[in-house]
Each structure stands twice: as structure tokens, then as C-alpha cells.
Structure 1
Amino acid sequence: MEQHQPLTTWYVLFGLTQVTTIALILVDANPLADRLSAVGLLVLNSLWFVGYGLKLMRNGIEDRRGLVYAAGSLALWAPAVWLTGNATFALFGLVPQIYMMMPVTWAFFPMAVFVFTPQLLTWLAGADPALPWPGALLIVGFSQAFGWAVSRIAQQNEQRGELLERIEALTLETERARWAAEIHDTLAQGYTSIITLLQGAQPNVELALRTARENLREARALVASNSPSPLDGSSLEDALRRLVSGVALPSTFRVIGDARPLATSAEVVLLRTVQEALTNVARHSGASRVDVVMRFDEDGVSLEVRDDGRGFGDAPEGFGLRGMRARLEQVGGTLSLSSDEGASVLVEVPL
């Protein structure tokens, strides 16, 4: 199993078992030479872990190198058990190491060898095993179950991590798309209006300055993640009227029916749609005038932007129109286009 979680807990476990085992060896009744030799073997075993096994654990390596580590660890630990039975306590740290460096199915066999080693050495020495054979079998079964459980937890953590990475990637992509739409609907359109107005020479300079100020205010609102600035402190009708008056063409704006309160999300969509439509008129239509009509009825509200230009023709929809449709879908609205004696953009949003 790959290791994608902090290993500090395991390091502490290994360190504590080694220190405890050494302490138990030093206080037992075996000859001093045997005790010191066993301690030396356990120290070498610790160095073998730090120099070789630790790298396998950190890198999540699960191949034959795990078997190499297990063989080297057994070669250093088994003689210590022969010298003093208290060295058996090191199993509490050695068995988990095996499962940290091998797949569960591989780890069973070296784990069983480690567990039965003290039994075999005691039997070879002509003494009765301190741990009955049924007890050893129970430890083997428990160790395998423990290794399987740890493996499942690690797999679930890995899957959870991959899911979180995908969610983060989708979130970033969605946020980029949102910012692209916001910039297109505000800054790019504002600068387009400024260029169009300045091309009309001196009479439009004052209007260009006002549009520039509005655009700067919009940029600050975007950075501060506020609501669209044309709506700040004013009604939707007032905001639309300001947008229409800022067009460098003869224009009209009128409201039909009794105005009704709208959700903020619907107001934002309507405002952005008109803003996009007016920008398209100024840039592409070649129109001489534009009219905007806002109509309230029992079912909802509609907005129509109509000009006397060349119409849409057969050109495919650009980023602006696709963005308008996407915004409208968020509030259950629809977008209709027609090119009868000019161009018409009709937006309908249910109440």
C-alpha cells in the first residue's frame, strides 16, 4: 500500500519498541555478554531501518526490496532472541514495518516467520516456548487482520485525496471561467465603449470619461468580489437606463408594465445581458440607433435590445452570446435572437 499520510506515528512506535526492548534486555538475568550482544544487534537493526527501510516507507515502495529489508531485519533480530528471550518484545515494532513495505498478501509470509521465530529458537534450545503455539497462531491471525485494515484505510485515504484533487481542479476551472465571463462582461466591454466614443472625436470625450470612471469602479468591485457595481445603491431600471444612455448611438429605454421586485441573481443576469448586447451593437452591427424595452407581466420579466443594423447573419455565436446563455440558465431564463429588419436580442426570466 502506498503511504500518502504522515508516518510520524509509526516512527514513534518503532522507536518506543526498540527502547523498551533494550531496557528489558538490560535488566534480565542472562549473562552480561549475552545482554550486551543482544542490545548491539538491536542497535544494528535500528540502523538497518534508518538506512534502508525508512526510504522504502517514505517512497511507498512495495516490491522485492521489502523482502530484502525483512530478511536483513530477521538476520539481526533472530540472534538477539537466541541470546535473550526479552528481545521478542521487538516484534511489536518489526511486524508493522513489514506491512508498511509490502502488499498485504506478500507480508503474510515474512510476518509468520517473525512470529514463529521465537517459538522455533526456544524449541531448538530445548526449552518450552514462553508463548503457546495456539497463542502464536492467534498473533499471526491478528497481525494479518491488522495489516489488511491498515491497507484499506490507506487506500481510502488515497481515493479521498484523489477526489479532493479533482474537486479542487474543477473548482479552479469554474472560477477561471467565472472570472473570464466577468472580465468580458465588464472591463472588455467598458474599454470597447471608450474606444468607440473616442473615435467619435471631441463631442464624445465627456461621455468617454464617464464610461471610463464606471469601468474603473466595476474593476474595483470585481477585485473586492462585490455585486456588479452598476446596481450598487440603485434599482435595476436606473442601472439599465445609465447603460443605455452611455451608448454612442441614439438610444431609448422604456419600461412597460408595473415594476416588480426581482432576485438579485436575476437582476445581475439582466444587467449583464443588456450590457453584452449593447456592446455587440456598438462593435458589430453598424446600426444607427438602438432601443431597449423592459416588460413586466404576470409570468416574469423580459428585456429586448433591438437595433437597425445588419443583423446576425450566418456567423456562429461568439463568447459573449454563449456567456449570456450560460448566465440565463442559472436563473431559468431564455435567450432568443432574430434578424428581422436589424437585430433583436430577447431575454425572458421567470418570476
Structure 2
Amino acid sequence: MEQHQPLITWYVLFAITQATALALVLIDNNTLADRLSAAGLLCLNGLWFVFYGRKLVQREDGNWQGLVYAAGSLATFAPAVWFSGNATFALFGLVPQIYMVLPVTWAFYPMALFVFTPQLLTWFAGAVPALSWPAALIIIGFSQAFGWAVSRIAQQNQQRGELLQRIEALTLEAERARWAAEIHDTLAQGFTSIITLLQGAQPNVELALQTARENLREARALVASNAPSPLDGSSLEDALRRLVSGAALPSSFRVIGDAAGLPTSVEVVLLRTVQEALNNVARHSGASRVDVVLRFDEDCVSLEVRDDGRGFGDAPEGFGLRGMRARLEQVGGTLSLSSDEGASVLVEVPL
């Protein structure tokens, strides 16, 4: 419906020009038979557009069918002009129709034929054309320029529409990637911790329950598009301390420097980094302990997660590390990895 809405203006123009041409024909000084013949042919011309030409206009992909429409329209327009010169007024609606059903390079020839038809018929009848030949040439030039301009505008609108569709597709793709990363960093990691804890001794059951409750809050926060639930109502240091204390192996957390107020986006990135790093340690490192250090300097905040496991080795970066880098880039941060006596994940975000 919206695609054809702009055509209504053109339909109104065509109806007005056709009705005006009919009125001029009926008040002509010709015989009644000539006037009725011209009026009937103009009515046929209008019906030809309604039942055939309108479909071509709505399709907006001019091809050989446009030539068929132009021929049929000329077949009713030319004899109408023969019976009454006032039927020439219908050109104001017919010429735009030609450009709407044919490519602009094709439309020139039938358009010129339409404009010259009243001139030729008047000349054949031995009368003086109401429109001079130079004026007809000017009309043809103006019509072609107008048709070219309309064609360019239509192409630009189409390109703009394709660009908007591409932007929408990329936005949806980025949103899917963000949700995938969020779920990977929260629910998947939490459930992995639960499995690891339940596989251990009975005292770990209570810690498993605590982790499960934390992940339930994460799920609700994600659905509600809120900040990560560990940050709700608490500072970054407190949220990190709780997160580290719930690790599946012995761990420690300390803060160096004076804590500075950070944007929520930076706090979320740091929290997600620790979640991902702790998850990697539990699943891949074979470490016996992990230490987390949050450091505040004058120009940046850094966060290091270090374990005493086997290190990164030559294994390629997985989805989790790629997700870390992607989130850090959004806040201007960097990620550094090292395997000196274990594994170290260091992130730095400028203040």
C-alpha cells in the first residue's frame, strides 16, 4: 500500500487532464459526430490506462510491455485529435505515462511521436497547426529532460532503500552477535561453573546454588535489558569480589590505587572480562588457583586475571576471547595475553 501511495498524485493528474480534454472536445465547434467520436476515443484511452497501463506503472520495471501500452494509447489518441484538435490537451497526462512505463532511453521515441501527432494530423488536414514546430521541439526537449530527472530521482530512492535495508540487516546481525556474547558470558559460564562444582565434593553444593541464583538474576537482567545483575546496587569492586569468591578453584581479588568512577559501559566490560577469564581458567587451564587484580591509575584502569595453569600455548583464540576484544574495542580498551608461568589476561581501558 505504501509503495503505491505516491502514485495517487499522478493518477489525479491523469484524471484531471483527461477530464479537461473531454470538456474541451465537447465544447468544440466541430460537428456533433466529430465531438462524440473524439470524446469516445478519449474515454477508451482512459480505460486503456486503467486496465493495462496502471499495472505497468505500479511494477516500476519498464520493458517491452510499455511499448505495447504506448502503441495502444497512440491508437486512441491520434484519431481523437483528428476529430477534434482540442484532444491535444490530453498530452499533459499521456507524456508522463510514457516515461513511467518505459526506460528513459526508450521513452524518447514514442514521446516525440505523441507530441508530433497533432502537428502531423493538422498538416495532413491542410490546416495551420495550433502549436508551431519550434514550440513542439521545445516541448520534446523539456519532456526528455524531465523524464531523465524523474528517472534519476527514482534510482536514488531505490539505492537509498537498498542502503537502509543493508543497514537494518547489519544492525540485526550485530544485535544477534551481542546477545550471543551476553549469553555466552553469563548463562553459559554460570552453568559451566554449576556443573564443575557439582562434580566436586558435597560442600560445593551450596556454592552451586548461589551460582545458579546469580545466573537466574542474569537471565532476568538480560531480558529486561538492564545492566548485569552483579552490578545492581553495588560498586564494581564489590561485584568483582563476589564473582571471584564464587570461582570453582581457590582465588584472590585485590584493588590497587584509588577507585575512580567509571562509566557503566566500562564497568560492564570489566565484569564480563573477569567472567570469561574465570570460565576459561576453570575449563581449560588445569590451574590450582587464580588471582584477579583491579588497578586504578591516573589515565587508565586495568584488570589482570592470572592463573598458574598450562597457559595458552598455540591454540587459536576461541569465541570468548574474541568477544572480549570486541567489547573492549567499544570502550577504547585493549587486551593482552601472556603465558609466562601460567596464563595472564590483561585489559586496559583509558579514563
Report TM bin, short chain: over 0.9
* SS of alignment partner, residue 341 of structure 1: coil
Partner of 2:69: 69
**Amino acid of the structure 2 residue aligned with 1:298:** E
Partner of 1:304: 304
**Amino acid of the structure 2 residue aligned with 1:36:** L
1:310–1:343 contact (8 Å) kept in structure 2: yes
Superposed displacement of residue 278, structure 1? 0.6
* SS of alignment partner, residue 202 of structure 1: coil
Alignment coverage as a number of residue pairs:
349
Partner of 1:171: 171
CA RMSD of aligned residues (A): 1.9
**Amino acid of the structure 2 residue aligned with 1:213:** R
Partner of 1:33: 33
1:95–1:143 contact (8 Å) kept in structure 2: yes
Are residue 256 (structure 1) and residue 228 (structure 2) matched?
Answer: no
Q: What runs of 5+ residues in structure 2 fail to find an aligned partner?
A: none
Partner of 1:291: 291
**Amino acid of the structure 2 residue aligned with 1:343:** A
Higher mean C-alpha deviation, range 222-231 or range 87-96: 222-231
Residue deviations 1:257-314, cap 9 Å, x none? 2222222222111111011001111112222222111122233222221222222222
Partner of 2:320: 320
Question: Where in structure 1 do 4 or more consecutive aligned residues deviate above 4 Å?
Answer: none
**Amino acid of the structure 1 residue aligned with 2:348:** E
Partner of 2:135: 135
Partner of 1:192: 192
**Amino acid of the structure 2 residue aligned with 1:108:** F
Are residue 157 (structure 1) and residue 147 (structure 2) matched?
Answer: no
Q: How many Å separate the matches in 2 of 1:213 and 1:187?
A: 11
Q: How many Å separate the matches in 2 of 1:299 and 1:87?
A: 81
Superposed displacement of residue 51, structure 1? 2.9
1:243–1:275 contact (8 Å) kept in structure 2: yes
* SS of alignment partner, residue 292 of structure 1: strand
* SS of alignment partner, residue 242 of structure 2: helix
1:22–1:39 contact (8 Å) kept in structure 2: yes
Structure ranking higher on relative contact order (CA contacts 8 Å, 6+ apart): 1
Q: TM-score, normalised by structure 1?
A: 0.93
Partner of 2:48: 48
1:4–1:154 contact (8 Å) kept in structure 2: no
Superposed displacement of residue 4, structure 1? 8.8
Residue deviations 1:243-262, cap 9 Å, x none? 01111222111112222222
* SS of alignment partner, residue 163 of structure 1: helix
* SS of alignment partner, residue 233 of structure 2: coil
Q: How many Å separate the matches in 2 of 1:124 and 1:350?
A: 86
Partner of 1:240: 240
